[in-house]
Copies of this chain bind each other. A is one copy, B any other.
Amino acid sequence: MGGKEFAKELNKVSIRFSGDSGDGMQLTGTLFSDASALYGNDISTFPDYPSEIRAPQGTIAGVSGFQVHIGKDKVNTPGDYADVLVAMNPAALKANLKWVKRGTIIVDVDSFDEKHILKAGYTEDPLNDRSLESYQVIHAPITSQTKQVLMDSGLDSKAIIRSKNMFALGVSYWLFDRPLKYTEQYFEKKFHKKPELIEANKKVLREGYIFAQNIHALTPYRIEPANIEKGIYKNINGNTATAWGLMAAAEKMQLPLFLGSYPITPSSDILHELSHYKELGVKTFQAEDEIAGICTTIGASYAGNLAVTNTSGPGLALKGEAIGLAIMMEIPIVIVNVQRGGPSTGLPTKTEQADLMQALYGRNGESPCVVMAASTPSNCFDFAFAACKIAVEHMTPVILLTDGFLANGSQPWKVVNTNTLPHINTRIVKERIGNNTPFIRDNATLARNWVIPGTKELMHRVGGLEKDYETGNPSLIPSNHHKMCVTRAEKVKRVAQFVPPLEIHGNEYGDLLVVGWGGTYGHLLSAVDELLIQGEKITLAHFNYINPLPINAAEVFGKFKKIIVCELNLGQFVNYLRMTLPEFTYLQYNKIEGLPFIVEDLKEAFLKHL
């Protein structure tokens, strides 16, 4: 298909699909990302959906969006603002206009009737009131054309309407110069039992493509395949990557994987994903609540599985008491917490980083455990794997923090061959040799041994009461309690010797060190990168390991005049740094709106300190 002579060559460009919850925008966005990734671009995605299942059709509350950023170079974020907006109805236009650069807007003109215009909260038709003058607006008859195309398809009218998103996708494909074949293959696989749907969808997709080509109003973008590391790639979101990282660790340890879980947005997809792989011996236990989620996990760990529980903020609050038990028992478990907007039910479908303090301190007594955070959708794989490795090698609960942005956002992932993953040394002891009892500690890590029921001669009891340092029996002796509290703290502290040092991006010395942690990595990196290109003396130090901090953190901090800590909360990591490395003075940059950072805002903020 032709018409591409005037394509604009670009390094990066982003598109946002938006429509009613029922319009299939999440699928449309996903297909667009997949096609882009398969074409060879680097991508980053950001789904933005309402917390209501199905808010009233046609209203702002019901708008569902999906932004995709594609690039020839490394793409770190889904893009602050979209270059192109697809709006399937007036509400989608209204809700998303603030997220669009002065670029192109493709609207389903058929949906701009009076009823829908009013429902969206407009008083006048925005297509006719000059409010969009600075945009290039394409009036696409998406609904009517779809109906037209499928008139004779034999599909019922509901099914016909349901495929209108494919028309929009076709338009987008032409505009971004994407091949259709990947999506066509998707139809073939997805609908192999309903061939009529394969044909229908293909037809609508193509009609959209042709429409775009024919109207001669659009100039296509061309984004060459990215220059990325060789290898096999797969598009992956943070939740899937987490699930797979856990499975990889279990395979490495040759232990069954057990997940004790209670559904909660945005963490449930980890449960859904893992529930599929019975063939790999994965057991998912959907518990009656989050407490049972972690308690079954503790039982499973004692019984010798690699045991994990996943949740989100309010669920983590419920697990506090049991995390304390696992700490006291020195049982290896992993707690994955996908952070969302709080407090309380808060903004359940939005992203935030405000569970750090509760991860560090949300339980009674002196109860330290390892806390770490993934920082991109795909490295959720790596950190889930690492969390398991630390848990079993150090015999401690590990809390892995991700967030709604990472969980649902997707990125190409260079497929890892499990053979190349590091070895995991479980501390499983299978027979009594010398004094190798359940409560003897390793000199380097202070971890005790892991003795699994069924092992002869090493029967032992674990529990929540303070235990004697030597025998593991309950003990009320004052000095022993002090020793045990210090030992538990030291055990966690020593993990620092086994994790990679803090890396920096930028100059080794400089004026401003930008500090971040977890899911804000892409945005901070983009901002710092852009300022580095402008010649600023700025550096990024991004943390994945929080408790304990990497051993070289103080050394890194010492080389900068100013340190600014950036977080999607009111200042939790910065306060943790104040406690842990009180010798430095910290500036803060905080945002708490349920949304990721905006690169432009970050740059502006950083420049003030440069």
Contacts and interface: CB of A to CB of B under 8 A. Distances in A.
Interface string A552-596: 000000000000000001100001101100100110000111110
A61 interface: yes
A582 B592 contact: no
Given A324-B342, A570-B489, A317 B362 contact: yes
Contact of A321 (B314, B325, B367, B478): B314
A365 B328 CA distance: 26
Interface stretch (A110-118, A344-352, A447-455): A344-352
A585 B581 CA distance: 12
B570 A366 contact: yes
Interface stretch (A2-10, A70-78, A140-148, A461-469): A461-469
Contacts of A342: 324, 364-367
Interface stretch (A431-439, A479-487, A496-504, A523-531): A479-487
A371 to B, nearest CB: 13
Nearest to A478: B593
A344 B474 CA distance: 13
B344 A50 contact: no
A361 interface: yes
A17 to B, nearest CB: 19
Contact of A317 (B344, B360, B364): B364
A418 interface: no
Contacts of A486: 570
A313 B323 CA distance: 13
A116 to B, nearest CB: 20
A464 B346 contact: yes
A354 interface: yes
A464 B342 CA distance: 9
Contacts of A367: 342-344
A37 interface: no
A529 B344 CA distance: 46
A63 to B, nearest CB: 10
Interface in A323-357: 324-325, 327-329, 341-348, 350, 352, 354-355, 357
A358 interface: yes
Contact of A362 (B341, B363, B576): B363
Contact of A360 (B51, B352, B354, B361): B361
8 contacts: A318-B320, A320-B358, A347-B465, A354-B364, A355-B365, A357-B360, A366-B570, A481-B592
Lowest 10 CB-CB distances: which A-B pairs, in order? A342-B365, A313-B364, A343-B365, A478-B593, A345-B464, A343-B367, A344-B464, A357-B361, A328-B344, A317-B321
